[in-house]
Amino acid sequence: MDLLQAPPRGLFRESHGASATRMDMASAAGMGHDQMKFELPGVQHPAEFVSQNFSPGTYEDNGKRLKFSKGTTTLAFIFKGGVIVSVDSRASQGSYIGSQTVKKVIEINPYLLGTMAGGAADCLFWERNLGMQCRMFELRNKERISVAAASKLLANTMNYYKGMGLSMGTMITGWDKRGPQLFYVDNDGTRLKADGDKPFFCVGSGGTYAYGVLDSSYSFDLSDEEAIELGKRAIYHATYRDAYSGGVNNVYLVKETGWTHVFSGDTYHHHDKYSAEREAAANP
């Protein structure tokens, strides 16, 4: 599949000059190997092949030959100081832990962040593609793209490829003229905005446990330090109970001046601290 030859996706049509520039960039970067292409299975209908032969591990068997078992915990919430993004770093392949150091926060630009949940390749490729589209918007319009527009671009792309086997559940967050913004986008093109009394999302197999922590402890009036601590605690409790989540906890703080990577630490080292707090609460 040659993505360079595909028609333009998203909100913005591509001019002839922009198309020529894109081709020149791809030709220069490829150096004999086109990096904007990825190999497909040697079958006539790849999407149908995947649907017939592969199945998510959480679904019924249905006679599928191979079953994908993947998991993660990612969360983000809005508070008075901005947005907190907190994620784990484990990549799992069924019961096998493929990596403990996956970077699940994708830095789209200095004011926009995306998270990874689902298929790592799908998330990484399409969020990098989103970063390219956001940069093109800035060059054409001489202003930074809004978080809503960026999330809409990604949702439009996902809707175009709906039913073709992509696996992605991501959050797009950042700060624009309207203040802190947070959106959820998945591989079906679903796009949800975080607002109201509980402006947060938790995505991944450990999301249920993270939601429990946020539901009981979240407040819009948290200080920066309290919000960072809440993000760390929610990820710890999720990784403690979900076998598919773990590794390093990375926390980002999004402010008006842009995002900052404020914490990175192994969730294993949180255990003594939070287990002691739990025991103290149970035995006042």
**CA distances, 102 to each of 96, 115, 150 (Å):** 15, 11, 24
Find, among 250, 217, 253, 216, the residue nearest to 235 by Cα.
250
Strand partners, 51: none
Find, among 99, 148, 158, 173, the residue nearest to 123 by Cα.
158
pLDDT given at position 135: 94
Q: Please give the DSSP secondary-structure letter assigned to residue 145.
A: P
Residue 189, amino acid: G
End-to-end CA distance of the chain: 62
* Cβ–Cβ under 8 Å, residues 195 and 224: no
Strand partners, 169: 186
Two tokens, residue 230: 């809440």
Distance CA 203, CA 183 (A): 12
pLDDT given at position 12: 47
Return the active site residues.
Answer: 72
pLDDT given at position 10: 46
pLDDT given at position 23: 53
* Cβ–Cβ under 8 Å, residues 230 and 222: yes
Distance CA 74, CA 88 (A): 7
User: Is the sign of the CA dihedral 219, 225, 227, 230 positive or negative?
Assistant: negative
Residues 6 or more apart whose Cβ sits within 8 Å of residue 168:
117, 118, 119, 122, 123, 126, 158, 185, 186, 187
pLDDT given at position 225: 96
pTM (predicted TM-score) = 0.77
* Cβ–Cβ under 8 Å, residues 81 and 255: yes
CATH assignment of 78-282?
3.60.20.10
From the centroid of its chain, how far is CA 88? 11
Could you report the per-residue pLDDT of 113-166, keeping only the tens digit for each?
999 998 888 999 999 999 999 999 999 999 999 999 999 999 999 999 998 878
Instruction: Please list the rounded mean pLDDT of every run of 10 residues in the chain (284 residues).
Output: 48 51 50 56 75 58 60 94 95 79 92 92 92 94 95 95 88 95 95 90 94 94 96 94 91 96 90 78 74
**CA distances, 219 to each of 77, 199, 223 (Å):** 10, 10, 10
Q: Domains of the chain: which residue ranges?
A: 78-282
pLDDT given at position 96: 77
pLDDT given at position 230: 96
